[in-house]
Amino acid sequence: MTKKTTYNFLIITILITFFAVFNGFIYTSNENENPVKLTEQAMHGQRLWQENNCWSCHQTYGLGGYLGPDLTNIYSAENKGPSYIKAFLNSGVKAMPKFNFSEEEKNALVTYLKFIDSTGYYPNYKAKFKSNGWVELEYKNEK
């Protein structure tokens, strides 16, 4: 090997090693991991939410259909909450169908919406703009 090839080989080896170590670090670090587990009841509610197409008219975190309002923080909204949510499910309104849910199913949906509410704010007006250009959002479920 010429001197130049040896030199290139060395550089490549260093780069590959750096790449391997860096990837090992990235893929094994559990920083930023904040697993939130849904309870059985909340998962039941999530299933009902999907099966009954609530999402086709409603949004959570701004995502979903736009016929009805965003329900991210409906659970903790002033003058709303569990019985308010149930009232809508019981009777429907002009553009929202009436659902014949059992009490258990209504509770599951309320628990699901309570869970969503516990994760944060939408729209998030509590954002701080940092001097380095990043935006810091306020979450509800931070450790």
- Return the number of the residue (19 or 66) whose C-beta is nearest ligand HEC: 66
CB of 119 to ligand HEC, least distance (A): 17
Apex 97 CA angle, 53 and 93, nearest 5? 125
Residue 96 within binding range of ligand HEC, rule CB under 6 A: yes
Total binding residues toward ligand HEC, as defined by CB under 6 A = 20
The answer to whether the peptide bond before residue 123 is cis (omega within 30 degrees of 0) is: yes
- Return the number of the residue (82 or 120) whose C-beta is nearest ligand HEC: 82
Using CA atoms, how far residue 51 sits from 16, 45, 72, 118, 141, in Å, is 48, 10, 18, 23, 27
CB of 47 to ligand HEC, least distance (A): 11
Contact present, 19 and 102 (Cβ < 8 Å): no
DSSP string across 76-133: TSTT-SHHHHHHHHHH-BTTB------HHHHHHHHHHHHHHHHHB-SS----EE-TTS
Residue 53 within binding range of ligand HEC, rule CB under 6 A: yes
- Return the number of the residue (21 or 93) whose C-beta is nearest ligand HEC: 93
Q: Where in 64-93 is the site for ligand HEC (CB under 6 A)?
A: 67-69, 71, 74, 85, 88-89, 93
Residue 54 within binding range of ligand HEC, rule CB under 6 A: yes
Q: How many CB atoms lie within 10 A of CB 72?
A: 24
Given the rule CB under 6 A, which of 4-12, 21-29, 49-57, 133-141 is the region that contacts ligand HEC? 49-57
- Residues making contact with ligand HEC (CB under 6 A): 52-54, 56-58, 67-69, 71, 74, 85, 88-89, 93, 95-97, 99, 109
